Amino acid sequence: MNNKTLHADILVIGFGKGGKTVAARMGGLGRKVVLVEQSDRMYGGTCPNVGCVPTKALVHHSGRRRPGDSAQDWYERSVGQVQSLTSLFRSGNYDGLNGMDTVTVITGRATFTDPHTVTVGEGHTRLTITGDTILINTGSEPVIPDVPGLRTSGFLLTSTELIETTTLPKRLAIIGGGYLGLEFASIYRRFGSEVTLFEAAPRILGGQDDDVAAAVEAILTDDGIQIVTGARLLEVNDGLSEATVVYERNGSKHAVDAEAVLVATGRRPATSGLGLAAAGVRTTGRGAVEVDEYLRTSRPHIYALGDVNGGPQFTYISLDDSRIVLDQLIGEGRRTTTDRIAVPHTLFMTPPLATVGLTEKEARAAGHRVKIASQPVAEIIAMPRAYVVEETRGMMKFVIDAETDEILGAALLSVDAQEMVNTVALAMRHRVRAAELRDAIYTHPSSTEAFNDVLGTIVRADQ
């Protein structure tokens, strides 16, 4: 048996955003770092390989298809270009870390054998790695609902598998009306697929205000997406060239045929096979690695970053996790997850929906007296950019504290919303009043100058 042993000052399990950031910083300071990633297709983590980068690149490519372009040819070419991009990022991430004298990247599955030790590989090629400090950064994995026939269906695809297929499904069924499901519905409809989206709740985006959710649904249905809310899936039956999704709605049974069935019902922390019990690392009832506000696990020398710790599943949260851990390792040890204020989110449909802070419902439930500024994009005179790029659909809504004039939250459904929301979030963190944002000077023509108009439409909504 060829059983080698390595020791690391910092051992990182998983090549996600948070872990690789800590690895690079600590390696740059001369610490010996070993990073273990189970797949050679995941160097850099979810975002550059199967998440943010490829999906948002597909958003871009789908929007460029002209009416006369062959849907299949355009899609196949787009997938090829996106895969070339992700391959470039993947190799860049690997070389960037493994090229450092102090950092070693190892490909294989790591399993704890005790609180300071993991093994990688098995049989005659086992590697034992010990670490003074250990970071768990293994991300998350798709959840497949327990629907008869679904898990064994030959037409079932996860988002990872769908974006790598070069055949555009003529008919696509999407199970789940959350951010992932809605993004993929928008992407594949614009590529030319007939899309049916199933949501068990009475409406999509149940966490948003009714007017915002209705505006989103209107855009998606206007694009030709069939949205079936209140749907209870009964079974999935495979045929020779397609699957039949059988569901119940309002007491009646219905069926939809599809060449591909995408499951978009959420993701869970990827902890299977890690051997956390051997390390004495506790998990929560939902399977996430249990951490405190400093991201320390039940073993103080072991940290968990990113999706695996059960926090918000966003790359930028994983990046902020790295700041918290680095502050523990080489800083003052004060930074915590409770420091996060006004964290924005974006649903990359077309146009995108970007949100931050409280909804109107949440603000009123929290006891705030609120005033609302809301306007359809098509009516915002100070936003000619929407007309320039020929995308005037959507709306903007601000929830404002009636007493302090501070912004409590915003929902921006418009072109460039993913950028504008960062300005709003920064304003919220620094307690900038709505009037200041309204009267600020913005470049022209830009999307941000819409704030000049929208924040002038304030009405009270605190009855």
Q: Is the peptide bond before 142 cis (omega within 30 degrees of 0)?
A: no
Token pair belonging to 394: 């959507």
State the DSSP code for 433.
B
Sign of CA dihedral 91, 96, 100, 102: negative
Rounded to an integer, what distance in angstroms lies between the CA atom of residue 276 and that of residue 284?
12
Rounded to an integer, what distance in angstroms lies between the CA atom of residue 356 and that of residue 362?
12
Look at the block and give the residue holding tokens 């697929």. 193
Spatial CA neighbour of 10 closest among 37, 34, 28, 29: 34
Sign of CA dihedral 146, 147, 149, 154: negative
Is 444 among the catalytic positions? yes
- Bridge partners (DSSP) of residue 141 are 268
Token pair belonging to 377: 């994009």
Rounded to an integer, what distance in angstroms lies between the CA atom of residue 110 and that of residue 131?
12
Q: Is 174 exposed, middle or buried (0-12, 13-18, 19+ CB in 10 A)?
A: buried
Q: What is the DSSP string of 327-372?
A: HHHHS-S---GGG--S--EEE-SSS-EEEEE--HHHHHHTT--EEE
Amino acid at 239: G
Rounded to an integer, what distance in angstroms lies between the CA atom of residue 185 and that of residue 47?
19
Rounded to an integer, what distance in angstroms lies between the CA atom of residue 163 and that of residue 50?
8
Helix, strand or coil for residue 261?
A: strand
Non-local CB neighbours of 96 within 8 Å, separated by 6+ positions: 24
Phi, psi torsion values for 37, nearest 5 degrees? -125, 130
CB 23 within 8 A of CB 12: yes
- Number of residues in the chain: 463
Exactly one of 254, 301, 430, 444 is catalytic; name it: 444
Spatial CA neighbour of 128 closest among 11, 246, 299: 11
Which are the catalytic amino acids?
444
